[in-house]
Each structure stands twice: as structure tokens, then as C-alpha cells.
Structure 1
């Protein structure tokens, strides 16, 4: 092995020091400044070098004059005597180099710190904040609704942790969420599945946690992994978390429940949206009711345990509120019942489920003599369920759920035609095997073609379901194709004067 030279060792040590960052470099420059000042002070004092017509200086005075020349290059202009000037010039040149390097180091250090802050890797020091893990198109609606919900809160905070550039997240939120009011949104970049990254968002101090499923890849697996990271972290808090997580596929629901246990509320988003689509297509105006109940404008659904109602029947609980409508009970064991038996008596731990304007308006009335207008109570006969003819244009992963849900509402002998620009004959065949009331037929054709849609005899159908091809193409392209199909349907309605349920 070749012998390592002194210059190689020195260069190695120097490189190691420089790699330690601004603090190490500033320390090195300070050491160099100290060396220059001390050396110049020793030379001036030992050799008794002084300005022309001046007295020789002590070491401390010589070191002070040298320090002034390293800090201010203009000081040398007033020197007299060539020997003193030469020493002063050398000290000044050394000072220019050192302070120029110091300014560069400080500038780079500040820029590096700003770049680090832009990356969103600093720890969040917040308490009782809402933490959103993940990033998708749903995040803007969630933020908008949380902003409305937080209007009566003090210093509300929303923290978002996602593997997306922090500046990009902030810019998109600024563009798509117009008013944040009193809510502050804090973005951090990191992988929600990684324990180190997860700790940045301070989940221990959260009020609630929302886990969003990614829009691409194995979404449910990543969601379950995030839940596992939250609930099984060695640094987790003792108190249970309040987690709401999005699951795409029903077959993964059981596994997610096993991981999250009682700390996680799982929302099967595709299933919920598919069911709402079917129900709203069958009842005009139902979409307005759902919107009113699900957003924070107007009245919403709240849960509350009311000690005054313990021992009272559900019938009495309904009559205990003037400005709220009680619709059900969450039992002490966590199960929920909408419209339970009127004679059921509430026990300790039961919560009433009510529709009210805000969480602070769900208050038991002091007025015990409430007048009930019984004439306003109407009993409707649902009538006989009849067979229907339904058209489904387009296809995505929600289609099979829509078909199954529709089968529960229509009468025997119903018919549904599925028309798609992509071949989903196998999925349609598989779905038809579990149906009781609907006969399925599949047609492979372009759902944006006017000729195809005109040939379907749209007016002969009782209702039309329109789905986008979100799995086969990009979101914008899928929306564009759906819009074209919808415009064709509207044209047919205008030409025929028939109001179709779309």
C-alpha cells in the first residue's frame, strides 16, 4: 500500500470539515481571522513597526489595529510609513478574502435553509389539528368543508402530509380553495407510510386524522399500511386516535378493520357514491337533500350524549328539541340505529343522532309543552314495485355496485343495457349472475357518437346512468367524453320534450 502523504491527509481533513456545513465553515474562517490578527499583532509589536511619526504599539493595540483592517478595507487608506502600510495591506487583503468567504457561506446557508423549508420537512408544533394523510382531487373539497366547520373554532389548523412538493400543494390549494377564513393550512412533504415522515405531522396531538387513498396504484394496500403506521407506532399516544380512512375495494374492508380496530372509521367511497347515484336517479331532489346534510352549509348530522335524556324513551327524546330533528341513536356499544323503536329507553353512553345547524345548537329545550301538528304527518303508500328499463352509458369500477344496488329497487322482469366504448363483457356477465330482478345486456360501441346514441332509442328508457372511463383514460379526457355523452342526451330531451332521469 502506498504511503499517504501529508497533503493528502490535510486535504481529507479539510474536505471533511467543509462537508459539515455552514457552522463548520464559519468556525474555520473565524480561526483564520484569529490567526491573521494575532500574527499581524506579533509582527507589529516585536519589530516595533508603527505609523510614521507614531509610537511603537503594544501587542494588544497592534492586534486591535489589525482586526480593524480585516473588517474595514478603507482603514488602510489613512496609514503612513511604508513598512506599516505593507503590513496593513497584507492584513487587509487577508480580511477581504475571509469576510468575502464569510458572506458567501452565510448566503449559501440561508438559501439552503430556505430550500429545506420549501421541502416541508420541519416538525409541526400544533395541537388539536386535523391531519390529512395523502393527496388526491378530494383534498380540496375536504379543506373547503373543514373551513366551514371551523368557523366557530379558535385558531383551527389543517396539516397535510403527502409525498408531493410542498410549494405545489400550497399553490394548488390557493388556486382551488378560494377562502380559508380563520383556518390555517400547513403542508409537509413525506411518505404517510413511513414512521419518520409521519412523525413530522405530529399525529400524537391531532383532533382527527383523514387518510386519503391514492388515485393510482394499489390504493387500499397503501391506506392499510398508513393505518398500521399510525396505530402501531412505538411513539403513538395512549388515547385512541379518531381516524377516517378511504377504502376503494370492498374485499379489503375486513383487513382494514382488523388493522384499525375501534380507532378507524372506514369509508368505502366507491360503494357509497354508487349507492347515492342510484338513489338520486330514482328520486328527484334527493341529491339536494344529500348535499344539504353532507356539507357544512346549513344543517348537518351530529352525535351527542345528553345526560338529561337518560331513562327517557326515544319518543320523548324526539320531543325534547325545538331546533333539531332527532333521527336515531348511537348505542353505548358503538352500533347505530336510525329510527329505533319509540319505546326504547336511553341508557348511559347512548348518543342521539340529530340534524341541526351546528354542534352548539343541539341543545335540549327548556320548553316541555311542545305543540305537535299531527296533520303535517303523512303516511304514504310506497305502492307496487314495477319492472323498469334502464340504460347505463360508460363503465368504471363503480358500475357493478350500481347494477347490484339498482337490482334492489326495481321489480322483477326489469332490463338494463350497458353500452361502453371499451370491452367489459366479462364484468357484465359476472355481475348478471347475482341479479334477481334485472336482465343485463352488453353493447360495445362509442358512447360519444351521435349515431350510436340516437340508435339506442333513449326515450324508451325509464332512467339513464352515465359513467366516465376513469380507469381507461386520464381524468380530463374521461370527463370530456362523459360531457359529450351528456350533451347528446340533453339534445334528445330538447328535441323530444321528454324529461329523462339522468
Structure 2
């Protein structure tokens, strides 16, 4: 039989501990009880020294005053009362003041940490919400804060006066706020951004950001991880389903406008079926693969896309309705803008936007039409009404110029692997008149590649794929894969790396090795690098290469489409095969007389062939320089190696 040892002291300490861990309220009650107990003991100890008229209650009150207020020390008579008063005063310093300060300080620190974690729900209306923290989130926020013109339109539409941006992140820390502050396009405005902790797939966390009362919700896709059953697209669709369920629970019929990113094209239809409100789905893999495919067909195009799809410090695509342009011809309207280039019209029919890029110059502007323009800032979208009033222009049409077609087999070397590769191969299959030999060099096992290629049924015979499992950052591998025999080299940011810096480091090291081999080669293939971190682009400035920064491009698309829904239809039309396309034309193709011309003259020459001039590539000593949307009266010194950036229609 076990002996039960006396455990009264341990029982008291355990009970006291359980009360203290319950929070500040219980801690204060324990301290209050301790103060009361000490006051009673102190009062009992001085009762023998009291006068006959002083009761026990008055003695306890005397002890409480000495315990809570040190100022009474020295007012007492008699050695015993002074001794007890001194003990009570010292106990007051330790228990009353010390405990009270410690409890309040701990409570305040806990409350501040709780607030910093973003666990309290917000109450807002017509705000903007970004669900998820990824490598796109900061760039999306920067785009939104810099889009002054688009924000003004959005404010007028929603009848709000100030932007309120809320970001939902799985973890909220001071590091994230510092990242927002470090972005030059956000800076001090970072304090206007509200961070909340939570997951987009959790309905309770959606309430934390008051998602159903938002005007716009942006759902960027997270990076691919090593989970096989749960990927970012599944989480995005689950988020859309959660928003729908919340709307049904609270009987909300006017759902917020959502812009979501889906990586796998096969899940786009499922995403549209998951949400009953206004929704635009951005197929990120398809978008990036289309940009890569068009850059392969027209080397140098990445610089144009980087300017149109980068931060708003450069040229961007805008849409705006001009009631004064109604019933005027498109050709006349184009001449009415001195600081912008009109590239088309977008019409709204039954809630859908239909873009007409590079339309016929005789096309009339109708009520409700919005013009599509390229401009540096929204304030430049001003038309010269005097030119519009004189619409007696006669258009002299010349024969349309042919778009150069590829004759021989196009040899492409792809170094690295990420989720864009299958989409790129799929995109190249849409160019039915072109043949490709593609060599894929990556550490990804062949079996996994074959599994990823299952997104489409069959690869046509005109596309031959050669798989090599190897590490391209090794010089021996670079020499073995016959770099000099290819027309185009595409270097991808690997998805096998946890950090963007690590992925970009491998890409740049491989590029330097290739540059060394090509230095003594007669053939110079075009090289396109995909980077994940925009800060690394400056490291490649001394080299002749093209760069596409996927997170920046996708961030611009998500932010732009969130503020101008019609932009999605424009980008979708511009990036797909056939129809309106951006190409380059040599100066000699326009038979320009003389070595100098203004951009206005170049625009007129392109327009006479049914095309739209967007800018010019000028050969400099340090390489080609892109001038997109230059001043109309800018005099350009032209040479045979210069080329125009043209928007044309491919049939």
C-alpha cells in the first residue's frame, strides 16, 4: 500500500498556478486576495497595541493603508506598530506595486502581440483584399498604390474616398511590414495596409478580413511545393467555394468582384463554376508560356512586354470612355492624342468585353465603346477636340505587309524546369505552320516530365523533344548539349529551389557559362532568362540577354485586371496566336526616304499599311534601346539595323 505523503503545500501552489495562468483578471484577483490576507494579518498583529476605542476593522484598514501607500511610513507610535508598518510597507512595494506593474505589463505585451498577429476581425466596406502572401503580393500592392488614374475611376465607381487594402497571410510578422516599407513604390504608405493572419480556405478567416463586404478580392497563387494532393490551384478553388458558402449563409446576392490566379489551365472551368459573383481567372502558366513563345518567334519582344507589364513607372495599357469621340472614325481619333497611342476599342456586350485591336481606320466609335491606349500615366489620356471636329480624313490604303514566317526547323534549348514548360510546349503546338526541335536539359526525372506532359493528348510530329537529365550549371554538360547549334535558348527559374535567390543564382551561373562558350562562336542564338526576383535583373545589364520576371508580370496583370476588368480580354487577345500581334519591322520594309523622321511620320507610314506603330528599337553602342510611345515630334536618326515595334493583324 502506497503512503500518501502530505501534499498540502504542493496542492496550494498548484491551485495558485492554475489561477495565475488564466489571464490578467484572475491574476489581479489572486493579488487582491493576497493583499486582503496580509491586511487582515497585519491588523491582527497590531490589535494589542490599539486604544480601546479602535476596533479590529479599523486595525485592518490601518494595515491596508500601509500596504498600499508607502507615504504613511513614519506616522506610527510605538516600536511594535512601527515594525509591523515597515513590514507592511515593504510587502506593499513587492506585492502590491510589483505584482500590479508586472500583471499590467504582461497583459499589455500579450495584447500587443495579439494585435500584431492580426487575429482581430476588421469592419470595412468597399475595400480591397489580397488573399495570401506570395512572391506576387508586395508587387500587387505596389501596383495598386501607384495606379492613381485607375484608382480614381474605381473610387468614383464605388463612391469611396480612400483606398483601404487588407492582406490575409498565413503568418503576420514585423518582417512582412518591413518588406512592404522597403518597396520603393509603397514606402510610407505601408502603414495604410492592414495585415491579418489566416488562410484563404478558412471561412472564419475570410470573415476576419470582411471579405464579403469588399469591392475587389485578389487571389494570387502560391508557389508550387512538394505536396502532390494539395496544390495552389486546389486551395484557390476551395477559397472561391468558401466565399460562395459565406454568401449563402448571410443571404448576400451582391458578391464582390474576384480576380484569381490558376496555374493549371485544366482547372480554370472548375474555378469559374465555384463562384457565383463577377470573376476573372488568370491562367498564369498559359500567360507566361505565351509570352515566351512569342519572344521565341520575335526575339526582343520581352523588352516590350516588360515595359507594358512592369511597374507603372513606364508605359501601360489603359482603357477609357470618350463620349466626345462617338461617331468619329478610329483613324481620326488616333490622331487626337499627343501623348498616347490608341491601339484599339473594347466593347461590352452582355457583361463580356470584346476587344478590337488594330481595327480598320474607318471603324466608327459607338456609344459605350472604350478606347484602348498606351500611355505613361492616366493623365496623358487627353484628346485634342479640334482634330476630332475635323473628321474629313481620307485614308489611302496600301497593300498590307506580310509577317515573316519561319521556314526551317526552329531549334530551341530549354535549360531548367518549372510548371511553365508543359504549357510552353502546348502553346508551340498552336503554331501549326512551324516546326520545332526542343532539347530539355534538367535534373527533373524523365518519368516526372512525362507525367507533366499529360496535360495534352498528343504532341504533333512537327515538334520533336529531346530529353536530357543533367545539371546545366556544370561546364561539361554545357559543352555536351551543343549550345551553339540552337536558334533560341530559354533558361527557366527552377521550381526545385525553396528560395527565389537560389533559383535565380543557378539561372545566372548557367547563363555566364553559356556566354563563355558563345563568345567564340559564329552563331549567336537569342537567349531569354526567366527570373523570380526583380532585383537580380540589374546583374545582367552588361550582358546581351533578354529577361522576363514572371512574378512581376503576373502581379501587374492581377492588379491591373482588378482595377480595370476589361484589361483581361485585351491581354488575352494580344497574347494568343493569330489575330493582333506585336512584331518588329525593319525600317526598309516601310521604304522610308531619308535617314531622319519623326515618330509621327513613322506612325502615318505604319497606318497606311493597316498597322499601328508602338515604338522603335534603336541600335546603340551598348545594345538596342527601346523607345515605346516616344514624343510625336521626336526626330529619330534611323539606320538599316533599327526596327519598329508594330501592332499588326496576322491572318
For 2:478 and 2:433, how far apart are their aligned partners in 1? 26
Q: Is the 8 A contact 1:319 1:370 kept in 2?
A: no
**Residue 111 of structure 1: CA displacement?**
2.0
Q: Is the 8 A contact 1:133 1:161 kept in 2?
A: yes
Q: Is the 8 A contact 2:254 2:277 kept in 1?
A: no
**Residue 485 of structure 1: CA displacement?**
2.5
The 1:353–1:245 alpha-carbon spacing in structure 2 relative to 1, beyond 3 Å, is same
Q: Is the aligned partner of 1:92 residue 2:92?
A: no
**Residue 116 of structure 1: CA displacement?**
1.4
**Residue 119 of structure 1: CA displacement?**
2.1
Q: Is the 8 A contact 1:48 1:56 kept in 2?
A: no
Residue ranges of structure 2 left out of the alignment (5+ in a row): 1-7, 153-160, 528-651
The 1:230–1:362 alpha-carbon spacing in structure 2 relative to 1, beyond 3 Å, is farther
Q: Is the aligned partner of 1:346 residue 2:371?
A: no
**Residue 104 of structure 1: CA displacement?**
2.0
Q: Is the aligned partner of 1:392 residue 2:413?
A: yes
The 1:243–1:413 alpha-carbon spacing in structure 2 relative to 1, beyond 3 Å, is closer
Q: Is the 8 A contact 2:413 2:486 kept in 1?
A: no
- Match for 2:138 among 104, 118, 140? 140
Q: What is residue 167 of structure 1 aligned with on the other side?
A: 174
Q: Is the aligned partner of 1:329 residue 2:346?
A: yes
Q: Is the aligned partner of 1:253 residue 2:253?
A: no
Superposed CA deviations along residues 380-410 of structure 1, whole A, max 9, x for unmatched, are 3214442333222233321122123234447
Higher mean C-alpha deviation, range 405-414 or range 238-247: 405-414
The 1:89–1:421 alpha-carbon spacing in structure 2 relative to 1, beyond 3 Å, is closer
Q: Is the aligned partner of 1:267 residue 2:282?
A: yes
**Residue 221 of structure 1: CA displacement?**
0.6
Q: What is residue 50 of structure 2 aligned with on the other side?
A: 49
Structure 1 residue matching 2:314: 3-state secondary structure: coil
For 1:91 and 1:117, how far apart are their aligned partners in 2? 39
For 2:270 and 2:121, how far apart are their aligned partners in 1? 31
Q: What is residue 69 of structure 2 aligned with on the other side?
A: 72
For 1:297 and 1:189, how far apart are their aligned partners in 2? 31
Q: What is residue 105 of structure 2 aligned with on the other side?
A: 107
**Residue 89 of structure 1: CA displacement?**
4.4
Structure 2 residue matching 1:382: 3-state secondary structure: coil
Q: What is residue 21 of structure 1 aligned with on the other side?
A: 23
The 1:410–1:464 alpha-carbon spacing in structure 2 relative to 1, beyond 3 Å, is farther
- Match for 1:202 among 199, 206, 210? 210
Structure 2 residue matching 1:260: 3-state secondary structure: coil
Q: What is residue 443 of structure 1 aligned with on the other side?
A: 468
Q: Is the 8 A contact 1:41 1:63 kept in 2?
A: yes
For 2:328 and 2:277, how far apart are their aligned partners in 1? 28
Whose relative contact order is higher, 1 or 2, with alpha carbons under 8 Å and at least 6 apart? 2
**Residue 277 of structure 1: CA displacement?**
1.2
Structure 1 residue matching 2:147: 3-state secondary structure: helix
Residue ranges of structure 1 left out of the alignment (5+ in a row): 1-5
Structure 2 residue matching 1:381: 3-state secondary structure: coil
For 1:386 and 1:98, how far apart are their aligned partners in 2? 91
Q: CA RMSD in A?
A: 4.1
- Match for 1:415 among 437, 459, 469? 437
Q: What is residue 198 of structure 2 aligned with on the other side?
A: 190
Structure 1 residue matching 2:187: 3-state secondary structure: coil
Q: What is residue 319 of structure 2 aligned with on the other side?
A: 303
The 1:419–1:84 alpha-carbon spacing in structure 2 relative to 1, beyond 3 Å, is closer
Superposed CA deviations along residues 403-450 of structure 1, whole A, max 9, x for unmatched, are 232344474554333333433363698679332633333334442333
More strand by share: 2
**Residue 42 of structure 1: CA displacement?**
9.9
Q: What is residue 3 of structure 1 aligned with on the other side?
A: none
- Match for 2:239 among 226, 229, 238? 226
Q: Is the 8 A contact 2:126 2:215 kept in 1?
A: yes
For 2:396 and 2:23, how far apart are their aligned partners in 1? 80
For 1:194 and 1:257, how far apart are their aligned partners in 2? 19
The 1:384–1:212 alpha-carbon spacing in structure 2 relative to 1, beyond 3 Å, is closer
Higher mean C-alpha deviation, range 33-42 or range 159-168: 33-42
Structure 2 residue matching 1:335: 3-state secondary structure: strand
Higher mean C-alpha deviation, range 79-88 or range 133-142: 79-88
For 1:495 and 1:484, how far apart are their aligned partners in 2? 19
After TM superposition, the score normalised by the length of structure 1 is: 0.81
For 2:56 and 2:141, how far apart are their aligned partners in 1? 67
After TM superposition, the score normalised by the length of structure 2 is: 0.64
For 1:109 and 1:160, how far apart are their aligned partners in 2? 27
**Residue 19 of structure 1: CA displacement?**
4.8
Structure 2 residue matching 1:77: 3-state secondary structure: coil
Q: What is residue 426 of structure 2 aligned with on the other side?
A: 404
Q: Is the 8 A contact 1:161 1:191 kept in 2?
A: yes
